[in-house]
A and B are shown apart, each in its own frame.
Chain A
Amino acid sequence: AAGVIQSPRHLIKEKRETATLKCYPIPRHDTVYWYQQGPGQDPQFLISFYEKMQSDKGSIPDRFSAQQFSDYHSELNMSSLELGDSALYFCASRKPGQGAYEQYFGPGTRLTVT
């Protein structure tokens, strides 16, 4: 079965650089969520999109922006990177009619900021 695809899987950037993380949801899933998970922490909700429109915003810094494209893939853009941005970034998708708890998570992108 198709799963959520995230790229790249690992990314190393320097402080003040920019990073772009990509997420390809499961086919026919219309909702995408982004989460940040620090070491030993729970996933923190960043932002979500439903049918290519932003549906909710969590603890996402102003330095970050995201969008969902016509093919439903989503990109998280992170600028002026800080050491504290080092974390696992997960994308999750959900199909129409399912509850928020029925999210399918991707394998994550591990971002390291040096």
Chain B
Amino acid sequence: QQQVKQSPQSLIVQKGGISIINCAYENTAFDYFPWYQQFPGKGPALLIAIRPDVSEKKEGRFTISFNKSAKQFSLHIMDSQPGDSATYFCAASEFTQGGSEKLVFGKGTKLTVNP
């Protein structure tokens, strides 16, 4: 069962447009919600992350909006550029029974920004 549900599966936007990717979760024990960007043939790279007690975090053109009561969070990419074309994964971190932390990922969204 996917602990973090991500949508849409794919997204096409025009250059300069806004890209929005949504994620939902059930486990209230998650303590951080990061977004990763992955280019083909490369490993995921941390883009931006948010704590559940913060409603919004912005870094450059990337913004996370977090709705704790709805258990949803989203990534907004403003002024989308062709270089933003990649697969984006939302994730959540949780403590395990052994006391360590691990990540669970959403299924990913393939973003294509047309020039």
A interface, CB within 8 angstroms of B: 4, 33, 40-43, 45, 48, 50, 55-56, 58, 90, 92, 99-108
Contact = CB atoms under 8 A, between A and B. Distances in A.
Interface residues of B, number: 27
Interface of B: 31-34, 41-46, 49, 89, 91, 93-94, 96, 98-108
Given A42-B106, A45-B103, A45-B104, A102 B46 contact: yes
Contacts of A42: 89, 105-108
A108 B41 CA distance: 8
Contacts of A41: 107-108
Instruction: Determine chain A's interface SS by DSSP, over half rule.
Output: loop
Contact of A101 (B32, B42, B98, B108): B32
Contact of B43 (A55, A100, A107): A107
A95 B94 CA distance: 17
A107 B43 CA distance: 5
Q: Ordered nearest first, which 9 A-B pairs have the shortest CB separation?
A: A105-B43, A100-B101, A55-B100, A101-B34, A42-B105, A100-B93, A101-B32, A56-B100, A101-B93
